[in-house]
């Protein structure tokens, strides 16, 4: 399962120059998730490096959103500060737009000020939001590099990166995983896949390991299938898929494990008929 804050490629119908408008290709160096353990009242700073991968100057704009995602594949980029565990209001960033020279890079700096209280109580667990880094096509009205005086209908491609800014406050951690659905399905190639959906009902980000152990009718383990890792914030959910195509047909007891690290292991047992 891929980390959901990676690169977004948008194709948007807009008033634009000829049908395939040119645009500068940007990229963000390093991880697309900035995690920091902090205490109430603490202030910390970090930066995002934005690179221009082309041979001509390009521009990008930077803005905030909140971010939620769920096991059905839906992603929500809400207004900053509107979701329950948003830290968007803690984040100050500069600048809000960049002009990046050909083959060069520029830096977006941000400062996070952790409040002493949230809604009258000491903050605890994980709080997060996104800084979006979005390329500005030269034919866009926002661009100062090109000529947007003669717009026509067409297609404009916009490259956008979402960088997760996550603050983790320790001391009152609550770990809880709710397994929402386990289903045996066939993929597009007709192979058997066990799909696991689960939600983080605790208060701290989890990046759990997942796996399935299969036991035959004699109680012997017939195999173990590893899952993937993904970030699961409080109140969000994901779906992991386990490829059982190499498992011989039969009826098995499937022990599904979600391991959040240390003693935070969650499991459930199901019968599957392959």
Judged by DSSP in three states, 176 sits in: coil
Single out the residue of 258, 266, 247 nearest to residue 184, CA to CA.
Answer: 247
Answer whether residue 236 shows pLDDT above 90: yes
26-68 tens-digit pLDDT: 999 999 999 999 999 999 999 999 999 899 999 999 999 999 9
Q: Which two tokens stand for residue 94?
A: 């500069």
113 touches 127 (CB < 8 A): no
d(CA 113, CA 103): 33
Q: Give yes or no for residue 212 having a pLDDT over 80.
A: yes
Residues 118 and 89: beta-carbon distance below 8 Å: no
What was the pLDDT predicted at 7?
34
Q: What is the mean pLDDT of residues 94-121?
A: 96
Q: What's the rounded Cα separation, in Å, for the pair 110 and 37?
A: 16
Which domains occur in the chain, in start order?
8-169 (2.60.40.10), 177-273 (2.60.40.10)
Q: C-alpha 221: how far from its chain's center?
A: 34
Q: What percent of the chain has pLDDT over 70?
A: 87
**In the predicted model, is pLDDT for residue 120 greater than 80?**
yes
The CA angle 200-203-207, to the nearest 5 degrees, is 50
Of the ranges 166-175, 204-213, 265-274, which one carries the lowest mean pLDDT score?
265-274
**CA–CA distance from 47 to each of 81, 157, 188 (Å)?**
21, 26, 42
> Rounded distance, CA 177 to CA 234, Å?
10
Q: For the whole model, what pTM was predicted?
A: 0.85
- Per-residue pLDDT of 249-258, as tens digits, reads 889 999 999 9
């Amino acid at each position: 399962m891929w980390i959901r804050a990676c690169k977004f490629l948008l194709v948007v119908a807009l008033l634009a120059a000829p049908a395939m408008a040119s645009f500068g290709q940007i990229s963000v160096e390093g991880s697309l998730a900035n995690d920091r353990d902090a205490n109430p009242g603490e202030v910390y700073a970090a930066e995002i490096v934005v690179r221009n991968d082309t041979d001509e100057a390009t521009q990008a704009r930077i803005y905030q959103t909140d971010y939620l995602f769920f096991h059905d594949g839906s992603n929500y980029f809400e207004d900053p500060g509107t979701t329950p565990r948003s830290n968007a209001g803690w984040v100050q960033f500069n600048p809000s737009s960049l002009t990046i020279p050909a083959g060069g890079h520029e830096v977006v700096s941000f400062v996070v000020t952790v409040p002493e209280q949230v809604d009258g109580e000491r903050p605890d667990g994980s709080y997060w939001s996104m800084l979006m880094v979005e390329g500005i096509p030269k034919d866009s009205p926002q661009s100062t590099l090109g000529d947007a005086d003669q717009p026509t209908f067409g297609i404009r491609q916009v490259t956008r990166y979402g960088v997760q800014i996550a603050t983790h406050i320790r001391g009152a951690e609550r770990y809880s995983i709710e397994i929402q659905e386990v289903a045996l399905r066939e993929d597009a190639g007709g192979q058997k896949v066990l799909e696991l959906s689960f939600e983080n009902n605790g208060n701290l980000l989890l990046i759990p390991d997942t796996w399935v152990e299969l036991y035959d009718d004699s109680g012997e383990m017939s195999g173990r299938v590893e899952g993937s890792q993904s970030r699961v914030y409080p109140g969000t959910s994901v779906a992991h898929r386990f490829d059982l195509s190499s498992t011989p047909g039969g009826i098995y007891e499937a022990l599904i494990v979600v391991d959040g690290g240390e003693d935070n292991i969650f499991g459930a047992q199901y019968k599957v008929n392959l």
